[in-house]
A and B are shown apart, each in its own frame.
Chain A
Amino acid sequence: MRAFEYVSPTTKEQAVALLSSTWGETEILAGGTDLLALLKDDIVRPRRVVNIKEIAELRGISFSMPAGLRIGATVTLQELLDHPDIARHYPALVQAARGVTSPQIRNMGTVGGDLCQRPRCWYFRSGFGLLARDETGRSLVLEGDNRYHAILGNEGPAYFVNPSSLAPALIAYGARLRIFGPRGTREIPVERFFRIPKSEAEREYDLQPNEIVTEILVPPPSAGMVSATYEVRQREALDWPLATASVALVLEGQRVRSARVVLGHVAPIPWPSPEAERALLGKTVSEEVAQAAANAAVQRARSLGKNEYKIQLARVAVRRAIQQAVGGGARR
């Protein structure tokens, strides 16, 4: 780890003023579970680290009808899990957080940090950059071992998968992010927060270097909503999922009135699947309908050479998440 200076502001205004407007010069410290690894691996080399855990307004969870749910950015995954209203109204979120089977990570890791953590791509973590190119410009992902890389949204030049545990569920619930920066507060849907970088200069999310995520706002659950997250994970011990799916369906009687299906760990961004959603709309969920939606979700998937199996896993995740949401099917 290289030397840096450390500040711990107590307001978001201070925090933003302490952040550089250029990427790389400053880093935000929340839970630290990702940042410290990035520092140790020399992937980020900030001159200043800005701890945002002392900012009171970034904390806390509140829920009410009809306002919905507000989660402060530095709320930990464990605080999220322990909140009775979230457990009652947002099962897909709880299931996603439970998939992080390390209590240490859940106690440290924050909701904002979960959204802003950097990809686990082993080339990125070895210092080859977000786009994992060698000095001649060729993609190491395509030349090398891509067993954990993207099967969707992988037209290039980015092939990593988004590592967020919570984003698919948050997107399925239609959550929005509140972001604070030098020009004040802005709000965007979580879905639009993530993007596929086109060059090494771009980040994988819509955040300026001197902006911070302050809150996550989740709409109240609609009447008739059922939701679930299904993770395909090799180990029960702390392990990155190979594919996940979060679904939120609004049922009218037996029929699907609206559907959100979002895949995780399969693309450089959390991957909403309008194809799967269309396959569900107006239908009564049966095994065949769930299967059709699952097939639709991976219709555009393609292997990079060593990750074809992930197409199958993504399909299974979607089908099982749908079945879990409507109360049937296999639970992991």
Chain B
Amino acid sequence: MEKQRLKTGSLSRRDFLKVSGITLTVPLVVGPRVLKVAGAEVKVFGPGKVPMTFTINGKTYRAELEPRVTLLDALRNEFDLTGAKRVCDRGTCGACTVLLDGKPVYACSVLAIEAQGKAITTVEGLMQDGKLHPIQQAFIENDALQCGFCTPGFVVACKALLDRIPNPTPEDLVVGLGGNLCRCGTYVGIRAAIAQAARMQRGG
């Protein structure tokens, strides 16, 4: 079955040569092929499944995935890390926000294959020693959530904002949280939660 899959989804050798017009040094087989281009060897992954390794919340995860699988789908479908949500799936709503090397990104708009070798932090990884992160605690206390579907994305985005700007002004929130949307309308609580978490982190 696996072989048939590869055949349907991949290029034939002839097609491939037509596309690239370059030398194929290794025949089409499972696993990365190597192309010799511009005097160097470049690995070609896919289009079939490729073994991949990820560092998520400090732990190592492995899976065999096609290059077309997004980081979001890998997290949710392969590793059952379902905190990041699939909502717009087009890099608009922020429900899939995760940290890549500490920076918030839309996991729906990152290919899993390119997230290898980076530190991936999801909402599941924000608790420290079994304790809620201050922003998580502040979300609860300020009722910054209703249905909760946007909440993990917002929590991660807020954490990233506070990491960058410990005392955000209203203007900082415009530019710092414009990438997340909520349908139930929890923004009043979220604003209060950010203010509280900022105070808590100052030790206030």
- Complex interface: chain A residues within 8 A of B109 (CB): 31-33, 36-37, 108
Please provide the chain B residues from 1 to 37 with a CB less than 8 Å away from any CB of chain A in the complex.
9-11, 15-16, 19-22, 35, 37
Please provide the chain A residues from 53 to 91 with a CB less than 8 Å away from any CB of chain B in the complex.
53, 78
Does the CB pair A3–B9 fall under 8 Å? yes
- Complex interface: chain A residues within 8 A of B16 (CB): 47
C-alpha spacing A238/B177, complex, angstroms: 9
CB nearest to B38 among chain A residues: A13
Identify which of A1, A6, A238 contacts B178 (C-beta below 8 A).
A238
- Complex interface: chain A residues within 8 A of B175 (CB): 98, 101, 103
C-alpha spacing A278/B44, complex, angstroms: 53
Please provide the chain A residues from 16 to 33 with a CB less than 8 Å away from any CB of chain B in the complex.
16-18, 20-22, 25-26, 29, 31-33
Does the CB pair B114–A53 fall under 8 Å? yes
A326 at interface, CB cutoff 8 A: no
- Complex interface: chain A residues within 8 A of B70 (CB): 36
C-alpha spacing A37/B111, complex, angstroms: 12
Stretch at the interface among B53-61, B86-94, B132-140: B86-94
C-alpha spacing A102/B40, complex, angstroms: 38
A49 at interface, CB cutoff 8 A: yes
A104 at interface, CB cutoff 8 A: yes
CB nearest to B174 among chain A residues: A236
C-alpha spacing A306/B91, complex, angstroms: 28
CB nearest to A107 among chain B residues: B103
Does the CB pair B68–A11 fall under 8 Å? no
C-alpha spacing A6/B33, complex, angstroms: 11
Identify which of B10, B45, B104 contacts A7 (C-beta below 8 A).
B45
C-alpha spacing A9/B44, complex, angstroms: 10
A302 at interface, CB cutoff 8 A: no
Identify which of B37, B44, B104, B161 contacts A5 (C-beta below 8 A).
B44
B155 at interface, CB cutoff 8 A: no
C-alpha spacing A14/B19, complex, angstroms: 15
C-alpha spacing A31/B106, complex, angstroms: 11
B108 at interface, CB cutoff 8 A: yes
| Chain B nearest Cβ from A309, distance in angstroms | 24
Identify which of A9, A20, A47, A103 contacts B179 (C-beta below 8 A).
A103
C-alpha spacing A102/B97, complex, angstroms: 11
- Complex interface: chain A residues within 8 A of B160 (CB): 103
Does the CB pair A18–B35 fall under 8 Å? yes
Does the CB pair A3–B90 fall under 8 Å? no
B110 at interface, CB cutoff 8 A: yes
B157 at interface, CB cutoff 8 A: yes
A10 at interface, CB cutoff 8 A: yes
| Chain A nearest Cβ from B109, distance in angstroms | 5
Chain B: interface size category? 35 or more
Chain A: interface size category? 35 or more
| Chain A nearest Cβ from B114, distance in angstroms | 6
Does the CB pair A7–B42 fall under 8 Å? yes
| Chain B nearest Cβ from A294, distance in angstroms | 26
Identify which of B67, B104, B108, B174 contacts A101 (C-beta below 8 A).
B174
Does the CB pair B108–A47 fall under 8 Å? no
Does the CB pair A5–B43 fall under 8 Å? no
Q: A18-B35, A33-B109, A103-B176 are in contact. Are A3 and B157 (CB under 8 A)?
A: no
Identify which of A6, A21, A108, A238 contacts B44 (C-beta below 8 A).
A6
B46 at interface, CB cutoff 8 A: yes
A289 at interface, CB cutoff 8 A: no
CB nearest to A21 among chain B residues: B21
B143 at interface, CB cutoff 8 A: no
A208 at interface, CB cutoff 8 A: no
C-alpha spacing A13/B38, complex, angstroms: 6
Does the CB pair B114–A107 fall under 8 Å? no
C-alpha spacing A127/B146, complex, angstroms: 36
C-alpha spacing A105/B10, complex, angstroms: 31
- Complex interface: chain B residues within 8 A of A103 (CB): 104, 157, 160-161, 175-179
Q: A interface vs B, CB < 8 Å?
A: 1-11, 13-14, 16-18, 20-22, 25-26, 29, 31-33, 36-37, 39-40, 47-49, 51, 53, 78, 98, 101-105, 107-108, 236-238
Counting from the closest, the 9 A-B pairs by CB-CB distance are A102-B179, A101-B178, A6-B67, A13-B38, A3-B47, A17-B37, A3-B9, A104-B179, A5-B46
Q: Other CB < 8 Å A-B pairs besides A29-B111, A48-B44, A103-B104, 12 of them?
A: A7-B42, A9-B38, A14-B40, A29-B114, A36-B90, A36-B91, A37-B109, A47-B16, A48-B19, A102-B179, A103-B177, A108-B109
Contact sample, A vs B, 15 pairs, CB 8 Å cutoff: A11-B38, A13-B39, A17-B38, A18-B35, A20-B19, A20-B20, A29-B111, A31-B109, A36-B108, A36-B109, A36-B111, A37-B91, A47-B16, A51-B111, A101-B179
